Structure 1
Amino acid sequence: MTDRIAVRGITAHAHHGVYAFEREQGQTFRVDAVLDVDTAPAAATDDLALTVNYAELAQGLHAVLTGEPVDLLETLAQRLADTCLADPLVQAVQITVHKPEADLGVPFDDVTVQITRSRG
């Protein structure tokens, strides 16, 4: 049985996308990360070292979000998942990347790509 730690709505202006205008102008992206973590050891000892430091996690995800541009949200989501799984306490992660300003040519609320990755 695992517990979950969620960090939602990490937001940044970034330059991901297939089209030149997306790379040049950039747009808003948001990320949600839901981590499967056994929090019992941290709860028993009240020790931050035994759980995921979500401030550090959020900063790492933001750095990926604002880092090297990629064409596809799928690629960005994988990089974000890899960042989460770099912490040995994270057993699995669900990443949702939001691109609410995508140019679809029709009115819409949001475009998302959601992936789930686990160890091994």
Structure 2
Amino acid sequence: MRVDRVALRGLRARGHHGVFAREREEGQTFIVDLDLGLDTRPAAASDDLSKTVHYGIVAEEVVALVEGEPVDLIETLAERIAEACLAHEAVREVEVVVHKPEAPVTVPFDDVTITIKRSHV
């Protein structure tokens, strides 16, 4: 099967994820990058949005997950985001990167990320 890519970069939302009480109480910014794998030929041939993935809706769903029920691990958050993306009929695979730039790390750093890849296979 042919796989094309639709990417969303830098989706930002405030969430209360983490294992420490301060993270749960105060919250922090999370940034999500998505790489959605799908066959775009049917949509391109028909110029029909219903034959591809509506990335605006995907973005809203991702933000709702980040802002929603807290989890301890960003691994869990990434998995939930991947499942939501794969629920869209056109999406065959997804790569999710969750950034936690305000992670409670005691030394200077730029970012903490988790990257997962999931598919219907």
* TM-score interval for Structure 1 and Structure 2 normalised by the shorter chain: over 0.9
**Offset from partner CA, 1:62-92 (integer Å, 9 cap, x none):** 1111010000000000000000000111100
Is 1:57 paired with 2:62? Answer: no
AA of the residue aligned to 1:66: E
> Identity of paired residues, percent?
57
- TM-score, length-scaled by structure 2: 0.97
Secondary structure, in 3 states, of the residue corresponding to 1:90?
coil
**What do the CA deviations read for 1:26-58 (whole angstroms, capped 9, x no partner)?**
001000110001000000111101000000110
Deviation at 1:19, TM superposition (A): 0.2
1:77 equivalent in alignment to 2:78:
yes
The residue type equivalent to 2:67 in the other structure is T
Distance (whole Å) between structure 2 residues aligned to residue 34 and residue 10 of structure 1: 12
Structure 1 position 106 matched with structure 2 position 118: no
For structure 2, the 5+ residue unaligned runs are none
Structure 1: 4+ residue segments shifted above 3 A: none
Give the whole-Å Cα distance in 1 for the aligned partners of 2:30 and 2:118: 20
